A and B are shown apart, each in its own frame.
Chain A
Amino acid sequence: MIRDKRLPELFLIPAAQTRDKSAVSPSDMVRLCDELRIDHDWILIDSPAGIERGFRNAIAPADIIMVVTNPEVSAVRDADRIIGLIEAEEKGPARLVINRIKSDMVRRGDMLSADDVLELLAVELIGLIPEDENVITSTNRGMPIALNGKSKAGQAFRNIARRLHGEKVPFLELEEQGGLLGRLARIIRPGGGG
């Protein structure tokens, strides 16, 4: 396990990139996680995209499954298949994270809104992540976006963590108030975002 430089309680276990994914079985994953559970509060497993062995390995030991999608047609369709598979494996209900929402496009009617996606997929929402350039600059620096106090996406990720913890956290107001009027409205009514 690799200890994180910043957070003393965070450890990483990278998956082998050279070996075939079938080198690990779902039951191996359950055994591994059962050992890790003894000393750790949370174990996050990043599933590869798609519905192959890697996906089955990732969900085998999971108590809670979060599905991440973009508000794009092909991504929502894939998410629906994954949610169906999670239900079939009796690991449901999946919780949904909608990533990279462009509020200006949503406002113009050119991007599916969070409500649209939720209506289509009919699952519980756990996070709304706005498109945020800070994600790229943070990864350039090798800095987790969740540790960036000024980033809206960072805030959204921290909110997901709090919701997983059982806290009731309101969803971020993604409607970026553009223009002078919007900014004035914000000054008058501060703390609108969550």
Chain B
Amino acid sequence: MNRIFDFLLGRDQRSATLAKERMKLVLIHDRTDLSPGEMEQLKDELIEVISRHVAIEPQDVRIEMAQDGRQQRLIADIPLRSVHQRRVR
């Protein structure tokens, strides 16, 4: 109900929701000790190593930190270049 009123009155998002979103980001960084700069460097190096073995789409590589209970997980999504494109080259 409150949310409907907030929406109708054009009020801001509830502060607890904001707090939770902010906390999620902060805790991920607190727990991993990896600065955004270091993450970028890690990403570049990963792309370099993987490219040596298989053709990938470097601009679409995504690396992020995810939370699984108290465990942090580094998730890398690395799209391979399609076989068709590889043949054309």
Mask of A89-119 contacts with B, CB within 8 angstroms, 1/0: 0000000000000000010111111001001
> Is B23's CB under 8 angstroms from A83's CB?
no
Task: Place the interface of chain A in its size category.
Answer: 20 to 34
Main secondary structure of the interface of A (DSSP, over half): helix
Q: Contact flags (1/0) for B10-42 with A, using CB distance below 8 Å?
A: 000011110110111011001100000000000
- Is A123 on the interface with B (CB-CB < 8 A)? yes
Cβ contacts A69-91/B at 8 Å (1 or 0 each): 00001001100110110010000
A122 adjacent to chain B (CB < 8 Å) = yes
Contact B70–A73 (Cβ < 8 Å): no
Say whether B23 contacts A120, CB under 8 Å. Answer: yes
Q: By the criterion CB–CB under 8 Å, are B2 and A108 in contact?
A: yes
CA distance A112 to B17 in the complex (A): 8
Q: How many A-B residue pairs have CB under 8 A?
A: 48
**Chain B residues whose CB sits within 8 angstroms of the CB of A111 once the complex forms:** 16
The CB with the most chain A CB atoms within 10 A, among B3, B67, B70, is that of: B70
Decide: A112 and B20 in contact? CB cutoff 8 A. Answer: yes
Say how far B76's CB is from chain A's closest CB, in angstroms: 23
Known: A87-B70, A108-B2, A122-B69. A77 touches B27 (CB 8 A): yes
Contacts of A84 in B (CB 8 A): 30-31, 70
Residues of A within 8 A of B3 (CB): 109
Contact residue among A109, A110, A120 (Cβ-Cβ distance under 8 Å from B27): A120
Q: Is the CB of A112 within 8 A of B69?
A: no
Contacts A84-B31, A109-B2, A109-B15; A76 near B69 (Cβ below 8 A)? no
Checking B15, B22, B23 against A110 with a beta-carbon cut-off of 8 angstroms, the contacting residue is B15
Judge whether B30 and A81 touch: CB under 8 Å: yes
CA distance A77 to B20 in the complex (A): 11
CB within 8 A of A77: which of B14, B30, B67?
A: B30
In the assembled complex, 11 residue pairs joining A and B whose CB atoms fall closer than 8 Å, in A order, are A73-B19, A81-B30, A84-B30, A106-B16, A112-B16, A112-B19, A112-B23, A119-B20, A120-B23, A120-B27, A122-B67
| In the A-B complex, the 9 residue pairs with the closest CB atoms | A109-B14, A122-B69, A122-B70, A110-B15, A109-B16, A116-B20, A120-B23, A80-B27, A112-B16
List residues of chain B with CB under 8 Å of any chain A CB: 2-3, 14-17, 19-20, 22-24, 26-27, 30-31, 67, 69-70
User: 14 other contacts beyond A112-B19, A112-B23, A122-B67, with CB at 8 A cut-off?
Assistant: A73-B22, A80-B27, A84-B30, A108-B14, A109-B15, A109-B16, A109-B17, A110-B14, A110-B15, A112-B16, A116-B19, A116-B20, A119-B20, A120-B24
